[in-house]
Amino acid sequence: MYNYNDVDTLIKQAKTGLDEVDNFAIEAVYKFNGNLRTYAGYKFEQVDNQDDQIQAGIRYDF
């Protein structure tokens, strides 16, 4: 999983000592063949007042 933090958030974390990114994820990928794959995941947010996320998708490589 790719987590993104912009520079302003990182500076804020350094000044306040608060961690706004505290999560982990469970993910799975299934490859049907060399070109088609699906993925699904569940991201557990460990920060108060943030919702967990469900992710799913299909990818086809030409």
Predicted pLDDT at 45: 79
Number of structural domains the chain divides into: 1
Split at pLDDT 50, 70, 90, the class of 41 is very high
Within-domain flag for 53: yes
Within-domain flag for 11: no
User: What is the span of the domain harbouring residue 37?
Assistant: 21-60
Split at pLDDT 50, 70, 90, the class of 29 is very high
Within-domain flag for 39: yes
Residue 5, phi then psi, degrees to nearest 5: -125, 130
Within-domain flag for 54: yes
Within-domain flag for 5: no
pLDDT: which is higher, 35 or 43: 35
Within-domain flag for 48: yes
